């Protein structure tokens, strides 16, 4: 099973992603997590990623595609995966040809996203300043919404109300995936 999770920051992608990973026995992988780890490295690439991330901007498509494909070529992802945070631009989506089963869009309003991030923000994440969060929401509308259309046209998009309870959302997603489980 190869699934992609799309949603604004705070939509619950990692919560649902981890539940689905257990359901299907495949690993959960988040590009945000990969980039946060790379940003800790004292290398030119690490420093560059850190600056871009902390501003709430997107890492370039070429770098992202290279890093993600390196990860997905690892043997542990051969059977499938739950991928959170990629593709985030139309260029990434068009370049990514991995036989994805479904793309799950966890839909929440901008206002709800801001509430949730503010609520969980304990100051430990350098990339969660208000400006960075605003930039991330803006770039979701500008760059990631076209990705939703791209998969909608392919008949792969599953749209779920991300403002419901965790278990209700989980069930709603599974309903769309029963054939493959
Ligand atoms: P996330 O945890 O998914 O919100 O990702 C945190 C940050 O990592 C984003 O704000 C971007 O700077 C970077 N990032 C994650 N995934 C991508 C992607 N697919 N393309 C470009 N940048 C990304």
CA 144 to chain CA mean position, Å: 10
Best CATH choice for the domain 2-176 from the list 2.60.40.10, 3.40.50.970, 3.40.50.360, 3.40.50.300: 3.40.50.300
User: Which atom of ligand 1 lies closest to the CA of 68?
Assistant: 19
Whether residue 107 contacts residue 7, with contact meaning beta carbons closer than 8 Å, is answered with yes
Domain-by-domain residue ranges, the chain?
2-176
The DSSP string of 133-145 is HHHHHHHIIIIIH
Task: Please report the pLDDT score of residue 167 as a whole number.
Answer: 97
- pTM score above 0.75: yes
For atom 15 of ligand 1, which residue has the closest CA? 32
pLDDT at 123: 63
177 lines ligand 1 (CB under 6 A): no
Residue 56: per-residue pLDDT: 86
Answer whether 86 contacts ligand 1 (Cβ < 6 A).
Answer: yes
For the chain, 181 residues long, the average pLDDT of each consecutive 10-residue run is: 94 96 96 93 94 92 95 93 96 92 96 84 70 88 96 96 97 82 42
Tokens describing residue 32: 């945000």
39 lines ligand 1 (CB under 6 A): no
Residue 169: closest CA among 159, 156, 179: 159
């Amino acid at each position: 099973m190869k699934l992609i999770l799309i949603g604004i920051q705070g939509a619950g992608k990692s919560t649902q992603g981890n539940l689905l990973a257990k359901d299907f026995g495949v690993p959960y992988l988040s590009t945000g997590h990969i980039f946060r780890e790379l940003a800790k490295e004292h290398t030119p690439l690490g420093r560059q990623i850190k600056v871009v991330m902390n501003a709430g901007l997107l890492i370039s498509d070429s770098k992202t595609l290279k890093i993600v494909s390196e990860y997905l070529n690892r043997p542990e992802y051969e059977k499938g995966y739950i991928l959170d945070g990629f593709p985030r631009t139309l260029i990434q989506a068009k370049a990514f040809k991995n036989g994805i089963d479904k793309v799950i869009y966890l839909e929440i309003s901008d206002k709800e996203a801001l509430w949730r991030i503010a609520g969980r923000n304990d100051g430990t994440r350098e990339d969660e300043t208000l400006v960075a969060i605003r930039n991330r929401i803006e770039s979701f509308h500008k760059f990631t919404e076209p990705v939703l259309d791209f998969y909608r046209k392919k008949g792969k998009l599953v749209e779920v109300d991300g403002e419901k309870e965790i278990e209700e959302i989980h069930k709603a997603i599974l309903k769309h995936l029963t054939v493959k489980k």
